[in-house]
A and B are shown apart, each in its own frame.
Chain A
Amino acid sequence: MAIIERPSSEVAVVGGASVGVKPSEALGVFKRPAASTSWRDWLVTVDHKKLGIMYGVAAFFFFIVGGVEALLIRLQLIAPNGKVLNADQYNQMFTMHATTMVFLFVMPMAAAFANYFVPLQIGARDVAFPRINAFGFWCFLFGGIFLNSAWFLGGAADGGWFMYAPNSSTLFSPSHGIDFWTMGLQITGIASLTGAINLIVTILNMRAPGMKLMRMPIFTWMVLVVQFLLLFAIPVITVALFLLTFQRSFDATFFDVASGADPLLWQHLFWIFGHPEVYILILPSFGIVSEILPVFSKKPLFGYPIVAMSGAAIGFVGWGVWAHHMFASGLGPVSVTVFSMATMAIAVPTGVKIVNWVMTMWGGKLSFTVPMLFSIALVVQFTIGGLSGVTHAVAPSDTQQTDTYYIVAHFHYVLFGGAIFGLFAGFYYWWPKMFRKQLSEGIGRWNFWLMVVGMNLTFGPMHILGLQGQPRRMQVWTEARAGEGFFNLGFWNRVSSIGSLLLAVGVLLFIINVVYTHKSKKVAIAPLDPWDARTLEWMTDSPPKEHNFDTIPTINNLDEFFHRKYAQDANTHELTQVATAEEVLAEMNAHPDEHIHMPSRSYWPILLALALPIIGYGLIYNRVILAVGAAMVVLTMFGWSMEPSTSPDDDFDPPAPGDGGGHTKELAPLG
C-alpha cells in the first residue's frame, strides 16, 4: 500500500478476484507482500482492524480450551470419589485453566477490542506501530500454542497459576510442563509489552484534532491505564520467570530453601505483577460498559471526568496492594496493616465507578438490549465480587479464607461476572460495527440468562463451600466427610457443577448466535448506527474502510458523534435530532482527505514471532535448536529494521471501495 489518492465513493469497482500487484522492491530482503484477498493476507497484514479480529478469534478459541478444562474440573467434583481426572491431571487442569483464561483469553480479548476500537475512537487511521502490532499478535498466538503444546509433550504445568516456589522446582515438578509455562508466558509477555508501548503512543500521539485527553471515550481511557499497568507489570513477571527458568534449567538456587533461599521472593515478584494484572483484566471491561450504559440509557455518562480519574486512581493504587495475596505467609503486623489499609482504599475508586454507572442509568430511557443486559449484569455481579473482595482486605478474615473456595468464588465473580460479562457486552454492542450484522437479540437473551444463572449457580455455592473450609484445588471429596444439612459440601459441589454446565450451554448459544447471524438469510444488514451511539467509532462505515475515515474529523465535544446528530435547545435543554448517522457520514465524506498514507504489509512480524517458540523448544530440548532460533531473531530484526514502514513507491491506484464486506480492498496497478 502506498498512497491512496482519493478514497471511495467515486472510484470504479475493480471486480472479481484479487488483482496482482507488483510491489516495488523494498529496502528489505523480501519483496513487500502485496495486498490480496487470499488467506495469506492475514499472515502479513498490519491493519489494526484485521489484527483485532485475529486477536478475538484466537482468544475465543483459548476461551473454549480453558472452558473445557474448567468443565473437567467440575465433572471431577460433581460426585464423591471423582474418577474423571487423577491427581496429577487435576493439578495440570486447574493450572492451565487459570493460565489460559487469564493470559490467553481475557488479556488478548481486551487487546482485540483495544486494537480494533482505540484508533477508531480517537480518530486515527491505524496504530502508531502497525508492524509491532502484528508482531504482538503473533507472539500471543505462538506463545499460547507453545504453552499448550506441553499437553502433548509429557504434561502441562502443574504448580497452580501463581506457581509458588519451591513447589515449582524440578524436585516437585519433574516434567517439562513448568518450563513450557515459563517460556510461554515470556513470549506472550513480549506481546503484552509491545502492545502496551504501541497503544500508549497511539493514544497519546495520534488523536484527531480537538480530541483532548478529556474528550476521549472512556474505553480508550481505560485502555490507556491498562497499557501503563502492563508496561510496568510485565517486566516484573519477566524477572520472576527468568529466575525460575535459571533454577530449573541451569541449577541456580533462587527458590531452593535448602540453600538458604527465601520462598517469599517469588511470591513478592509474582504478586507485584499479579495484582496490577487483576486490574489489567477488569479495566477494559469497565471501559466497555462505560460506553454501553450511556448509549442505552440515552444519557451521557454520569461524571465522565470522575470515571476516567477513578480508573487512573485504580491504576496507581493497584501497585500498592500486592501483599494482600500473602497475608497468610507471615509478613509481620506492619506490612499486613499497610496492605490491608491500601486494599480497602482501592475499593473507593471502584465504588465510585459503580455509583457513576448507576447514576448514568438513573432517570434514563433504558432499553434492555443484550449488550445493556450484560453491562447491568457486570455492575451487579462485580459488586458482589467486590464486596467479598473487601472481606479479604480484612487480614484476620482473609487468613481464615486463604486457599479456600471462598477465594475461588470471589475471583470468579469479579473475573467472570466482571471481566467476561463486559467482553460479552462488547461482542453484542460492537458486532454490527465490525461485521455489519447485528447478533440475534432473541438468541442473545437466552445466551445472557443462561450465563447469568449458570454463573451464579457455579460460583455462588463456592462461598459456602469455602467458608466451610473446602480447600481450593481439592481433587476429591468423600461423602463421609461432606457434612450434613445446609452445609453438606456434596450438595453444593453438585449445584456448582450443574451450574457450570448451564454456563457452558450459555457460551455455546453465543457461538450458535454468531453462526446463525452470518449464515441465515433472514438476518438483514444492520443499519449504520443501530444503537444511536455516541462515540467516534460509529462515525464511519461498518465495517470501517482500511483507512478508517475518509476525513479525519475535528473534535469539538465529548461524545462527538452524538453532538453531530443532536442539538440542544439552550433554554429547555431538550435534544432534537438534527442529522441521521448517514447524513453525518455523508457530510464528512464530502471532502475526503487526499494522500492518505497507510502502512504496508510485512513478512517480518510473523517471522520474528515464529523464532521465539523455537528458542523455547531449544531451551527445553536441544541447544542447537536454541541457536537456530536465536539466529532467526537476529536476522529477522535486521530485515525488519531495514524495511521502511511504508513502501516508498507510489505505484498504486486508489483502492476500489470493494463490496463493503470484510474483505481487503483490491488494488489495481497504475500501469
Chain B
Amino acid sequence: MADSAIAHGHDAGHGAHVTSTGLSNNKMAMWMFLGSECLLFGGLISTYMLYKGRVNSGPQPDQIFDIPFTSVSSFVLLMSSLTMVLAVSAAQRKDDRNTNLWLTITALLGATFVGGQVYEFTAFYREGLGFTTSLFGSSFYTLTGFHGVHVTVGIIMLMALVGMISRDRIPGNKAETVELIGLYWHFVDIVWIVIFTLVYLIPT
C-alpha cells in the first residue's frame, strides 16, 4: 500500500504529510485554539458589558477614556496586521531577510500598542480608577489586561521567531510556522476591534 504510510502525519516535523482533510495538522490545531479563545474573550467581554455602568464612587467610563489616544494606538495595532501579512508573504517566498524585517516591525508596532496601554492604565489609575475601585474598574482592567497579555505573548513569539529564523533553528516548515503566528496575531487584532468598539466607542 504505497499511499498508506503518508496518512499519519504528526507534530511539526513533517509538514509534507498528506492529511485526511488536506489542511495541515498544525494549522487546524491553531484554528481550533483560536475558536476556543473566542469563548474566552466572549466571557470576559460579557462580564465587562454587565459591569461597565457599575462605578460606585469611582470615575465613569466616558469621564476617563481618551478616545483620540486609544484610536491612534488601535490604528498602530491594526497596521501591525498589515506588516504581519507582509512577513508571511516574504516567508512563503523563502526570503528570510524580509521575513525577519517585517516580523520585527510587527513586534515593534505591537510593543507600541502595549506601551500605549501601559500609559493609558497609568493615566486611568491617576484619575482614580484602580483595579478594585469599582466593578467597572475590575472588569475593564481584566478584559483589556487579558488582551494586552495576548499581544505581549504574540510579541514574544514574534521575537523568538526572528531569533530562530536567523539561526535556522525552526523545526519543520518555516513558512507555515510564520503563518501560524500570523493567524494568532490577526486574531488578537480582531478581538481588539471588538473590544475597542464595545468598550470605548459605544457610550454607556
Q: Name the one of B8, B47, B171 contacting A126, with C-beta atoms under 8 angstroms.
A: B8
* CA of A469 to CA of B68, assembled, Å: 60
Q: Is the CB of A204 within 8 A of B21?
A: yes
Q: Is the CB of A250 within 8 A of B131?
A: yes
Tell me if B43 is interfacial: C-beta within 8 Å of chain A: yes
Residues of A within 8 A of B156 (CB): 634
Q: Is the CB of A243 within 8 A of B4?
A: no
Tell me if B160 is interfacial: C-beta within 8 Å of chain A: yes
Q: List 18 A-B contacts (CB under 8 A).
A: A200-B28, A201-B28, A201-B29, A205-B21, A207-B7, A231-B35, A232-B35, A232-B39, A234-B36, A235-B42, A236-B43, A254-B51, A254-B135, A552-B4, A597-B10, A638-B160, A644-B171, A645-B10
Residues of B within 8 A of A238 (CB): 40, 43
CB distance from A504 to the nearest CB of B (A): 38
CB distance from B1 to the nearest CB of A (A): 6
Q: Is the CB of B47 within 8 A of A254?
A: yes
Tell me if A388 is interfacial: C-beta within 8 Å of chain B: no
Q: Is the CB of A124 within 8 A of B8?
A: yes
* CA of A645 to CA of B13, assembled, Å: 5
| Chain A CB within 10 A, most for which of B7, B42, B56 | B7
Tell me if B62 is interfacial: C-beta within 8 Å of chain A: no
Tell me if A242 is interfacial: C-beta within 8 Å of chain B: yes
Q: Is the CB of B50 within 8 A of A593?
A: no
* CA of A243 to CA of B39, assembled, Å: 15
Q: Mark A230-269, 1 if CB is under 8 A from B, else 0.
A: 0111111011101100100011111000011110010001
Given contacts A243-B47, A252-B131, A642-B171, contact A129 B56 (CB under 8 A): no
Residues of A within 8 A of B3 (CB): 209
Interface size, chain B (Cβ < 8 Å): 48
Q: Is the CB of A206 within 8 A of B32?
A: no
Q: Is the CB of B8 within 8 A of A259?
A: no
Given contacts A131-B11, A593-B5, contact A197 B29 (CB under 8 A): yes
* CA of A641 to CA of B9, assembled, Å: 18
Tell me if B80 is interfacial: C-beta within 8 Å of chain A: no
Tell me if B172 is interfacial: C-beta within 8 Å of chain A: yes
Find the B residue at minimum CB distance from A268: B46
Q: Is the CB of B5 within 8 A of A129?
A: no
CB distance from B177 to the nearest CB of A (A): 9
Interface size class of A (residues with CB under 8 A): 35 or more
Tell me if A623 is interfacial: C-beta within 8 Å of chain B: no
* CA of A599 to CA of B14, assembled, Å: 11
Known: A206-B9, A206-B20. 5 other contacts (CB 8 A): A128-B25, A205-B21, A205-B28, A206-B10, A262-B51
Q: Is the CB of A243 within 8 A of B142?
A: yes
* CA of A113 to CA of B122, assembled, Å: 51
Q: Name the one of A124, A205, A260, A593 contacting B23, with C-beta atoms under 8 angstroms.
A: A205
* CA of A532 to CA of B191, assembled, Å: 53
Q: Mark B64-85, 1 if CB is under 8 A from A, else 0.
A: 0000000000000000000000
